[in-house]
Amino acid sequence: MAVRTCRAPGCGARTSRYGKFCSTHRSRSRRHGHPEQRAITKADLAPYLRLVGARVAKNATSPVWAHCTDRWQAVVEHANRVLIAFERGQPGYRHERIAAREVIKLADHVSSTEVIETTFALFLLEDHQPRRFRSDASFRMQLARRLRGLTHLNAGTWYNHRTGKVQRAYRELTPRAALTFASWVIDALGAVGAALVRMEREEQEAKRCQANSLAEALEALN
């Protein structure tokens, strides 16, 4: 019988009888949305959070931020309705119920500002470094992971006997639940996130034009 090898580029590991990927890339696809997707860390997001914070501070009196809070609250209310319907015995989808619990958990323990600014930071990261995301699904999965990472409630701890330290590991959602969770957030905040991306691009382009003009003026000096 022919040996099946992993379809991920550069990987020659064996797969299961009917699988496309080896155990490593199969796990990565399930956790991150794509077999080649790497996790976006808190450190990766930090500079983009600063950009978002600066933009908010620069436009502190804008009503946009209050609208964003209202739209996030609408997501929370939708999640509550999903869970109430389940408690009343109404039929529904398991992945939506899981996503709804995650939304409520986030709303109960993390400020709306932190949720909103983290979402916008992911949009800026995707625009500045598009190759960091292997697919739309992987972007959504990373958004869900970073938002869930805002609260310690999604993490478990374990003792590493090799290092002698207690380490933390986040409990994973099912892929469908993670994508549902991210879709609700994107539907609520994606338009503003895209607008911030456009504004950031325009500002960076204006700075480049100004720098080029200065360079040309300097070259023209006698």
Q: What is the pLDDT of residue 179?
A: 97
Rounded to 5°, angle at Cα 79 from 147 and 53: 35
β-partners of residue 170 are 155
Tell me how far apart the alpha carbons of residues 136 and 32 are, in angstroms, rounded to a whole number: 11
Characterise 11 by phi-psi region: left (phi > 0), alpha (psi -120 to 50), beta (else).
beta
- When computed from its CA atoms, the radius of gyration of the chain, rounded to whole angstroms, is 22
Indicate the pTM of the whole model: 0.84
Give 4's Cβ-side CA count (13 Å radius). 10
User: What b/e sequence results for 71-93 when a residue is b if at least 16 CB atoms lie within 10 Å of its CB, and e otherwise?
Assistant: bbeebbebbeebbeebeeeeeee
pLDDT of residue 211: 83
- Block mean pLDDT (10 aa), the chain, length 222: 76 79 82 87 96 94 96 98 96 96 96 98 96 94 95 71 71 92 98 95 85 83 72
Type of residue numbered 151: T
Q: What is the pLDDT of residue 53?
A: 96
